[in-house]
Amino acid sequence: MKATLSPSHSGFDLPATYRIAVQGRVPAGWYDRLEGMAITEHPAEADTPVTTLLGELSDQAALEGVLNSLFALHLQVVSVERLSAGQDAGVIV
């Protein structure tokens, strides 16, 4: 039988540092909507820059809120990476 972990044992209810990359520009005025994550824009080879968000989020619900805000801006998510948490970091998307 396969064992499953409860959400409290998976680390998703704990704070973690995330790096999220999106194709396009994130308006600086969206800082509060993005849970205070640092916004860094990188020039791209094509016309569209890549923007990186970096910061600590309180839990997976906060991560979902940030991703929903990016969706509202019609930005394509390139990657989501958990850099540190109560368990090993790893690429999510």
Cα distance between residue 79 and residue 12, in whole Å: 18
Beta bridge partners of 16: 57
The residue whose two tokens read 């969206």 is 30
pLDDT tens track for 62-72: 999 999 999 99
Q: What is the pLDDT of residue 88?
A: 47
Tokens 């308006």 correspond to 27
Higher-scoring residue by pLDDT: 90, 13: 13
Q: What is the mean pLDDT of residues 75-83?
A: 95
39 assigned to some structural domain: yes
Domain CATH code at residue 17: 3.30.70.260
In 3D space, the residue among 27, 84, 13, 86 whose CA is nearest the CA of residue 54 turns out to be 84
In a domain, 3, yes or no: no
Contact assessment for residue 53 and residue 34, using Cβ atoms and an 8 Å cutoff: yes
Domain carrying residue 67: 13-86
